[in-house]
Structure formats: C-alpha cells, structure tokens
Amino acid sequence: MTSPPGGPRKPLARVALLSLALALLPSCAAPDSVAKFCSSAVTTLKTGDALFGDMKASCIRDAETFEPFGAFTVSDTTPTACDNIGKQVEGLEAASKVVSSYFTALNDLASFGSSKAGADAKDQAAQASAHAKLSAARQTALESVAGFLVHAAASGYQQKQLADDIVKVHDEVRSVLEGLGEAAGVVYLQQLQDEEQKTASRYKEFVAAAEKQHQETAAVILTLDARWQTDRALFAAKRKAARTYQAALETLAKGNEDLAAHARGLKTNELAGLLSPYAAQLETLVPQVQKAF
C-alpha cells in the first residue's frame, strides 16, 4: 500500500487521541452535556462547604457543653481547642476548590478551547496539604490536579491535549474526591456521634439538677425530651447528609472515570448519553445534602 502525498499516515492511536477534542469542539449537544455535568460537579463540591463548616461548628457546640448551667454566655469567641479543626476545614475547602476548578476548566476547554480556572490552584493545593490532613498519596494527587490547571491556564494550551490530560489526571481526581468523602463520611460522622453522646449526657444532667432542686421532674423531663427529639432529628439529618455527600462524590468520580475511559474514542453524539445520567444523579443528591444545613 502506497503512502499518501506528504508522507505516511498518522498512527491510528494519534488520530484517536484527537477524537475527544473534536467531539468537544463547540458544536451542539457536546458542549451542553459537558457543561451540565461540570456544572453539577461544581455545585456538588460547593455543597460540601456547609458540611465541612459544621465540623468546626460541632467542635464549638461540644465545647459549650462544658459551660456551667445558667452561665448564659453571650460571647462569640471560638474556643482555642477548635483552632486545629478550623484549619482542617480551611484545608478541605481549599482541596475542594482545586477539584471544582478542574471541572470548570474541563468545561471551558471543551467549550471555548481555553481556561483561566484555577489560577491560584497551586496556592490552594499548598493550603490543603498543610491543613486538610489528607494522606500523602492524596496530597500528591491534589498537586497533580493543580499542575494540570496551571498547565491548562498557560497561553498556547492546545485543545487537542484535553483527551490525553483527562486520562492522565482522572485517577488523581478520584483520589482527592475520596479524601473529601472520607472527611465527610468518617471524620465528620465521628464528630457528630461524639457530639450527640455529649448532648444526651447534658440532658441527663439537666434532669439530675432538677431532681436535686426538687423541681417538678415530670414536667422538666417532658420539656427536655421534646428538645432532645428535635436534636436527635437534626443529628440524623446531618449524618444522612454526610453519607449522601460521600455518595455524590463517588458518583462524580465515576462520571469522570467514564469520560476518561472513552476519551480516545468518543463520538459527539455519544457524549450526552455518557454524561447525562451522572449529572441527573448529582442533581438529585445535592438537595438532600443542602436541606440538612
């Protein structure tokens, strides 16, 4: 077989490498489906801020259980004991922003061919590494995602690199998402369990104090029980929200993995069918997290 004018044909692998870039060029359904998936991803990650913020708030509430009865403290100072977890929350939020910027950049590159998302990704990754208490492997993964963002923001980034870059960093994206999920589904859940136990003990102390002062114990118990049932429902809602958020991050990771798996052979008309189910599932899960906070 003779070669065409100008030299031999390009290897099929290289042609396949360009397929996702061609599929994602501004045309019709392709950018729309990417935009919807990426928008759902960004919303999902942003939803976690309220959950992570409650990690510090839980610490503060826990500290308040040590205040004497009738103290009626009005100061709004944060206990120094909660400083460390406050820093951890800042680190987790920084890590979340890096991954959020990844999905924003993915949409920008697919739709417009360029992106400036994550210009401060390196600083955010450094903050997360210092305070989020992620494992060393997850810190390395986060730095890789930040590196992609810096590279993508550089002038001269070629859209045809997008398919290859998605494949390169999808494992790192999953790793960071799993780290955020563990913070919500393990660390935060343990905090809530500790807080709930101490809150229950506090109510028991109220009852004991009422009995000691010879108050009408039955009336006190009924009042406290009503408040305790409200608190229990709130703890249950937050636990459900934490598990739902972790599930949403897993859905997000699977969607990104599916995109990476088909990055070198995806056709434009297949893109919507690939990503739409993940976007729809995220749109269902996010409100379930939001209503707890």
Q: Which residue has the tokens 């992620």?
A: 134
State the pLDDT at residue 24: 47
Using only C-alpha atoms, what is the Rg of the chain? 25
Q: Binning pLDDT at 50, 70 and 90, where does residue 7 land?
A: very low
Whether 104 and 124 have beta carbons less than 8 Å apart is answered as no
* Per-residue three-class SS string for 245-261: HHHHHHHHHHHHHHHHH
Output the CA–CA distances (angstroms, integers) from residue 252 to 19, 180, 224, 264, in the order listed: 23, 12, 42, 20
Whether 154 and 255 have beta carbons less than 8 Å apart is answered as no
State the pLDDT at residue 110: 80
State the pLDDT at residue 80: 84
State the pLDDT at residue 9: 45
Average pLDDT of the residues in 216-228: 87
Runs of H (alpha helix) within the chain: 12-17, 19-23, 29-64, 83-112, 121-131, 136-153, 162-182, 189-212, 217-261, 268-290
26 pLDDT higher than 80: no
CA distance 239 to 188: 8
Could you report the per-residue pLDDT of 126-140, keeping only the tens digit for each? 999 999 999 999 999
Q: Percentage of residues in the chain with pLDDT exceeding 90?
A: 58
Average pLDDT of the residues in 211-224: 81
State the pLDDT at residue 71: 62
Q: Binning pLDDT at 50, 70 and 90, where does residue 121 land?
A: very high
**DSSP codes joined into one string, 28-84:** SHHHHHHHHHHHHHHHHHHHHHHHHHHHHHHHHHHHHTTSPTT------PPPGGGHH
- Please state which of the ranges 27-41, 44-58, 96-110 shows the lowest mean pLDDT: 27-41
Q: 230 exposed, middle or buried (CB, 10 Å; 0-12, 13-18, 19+)?
A: exposed
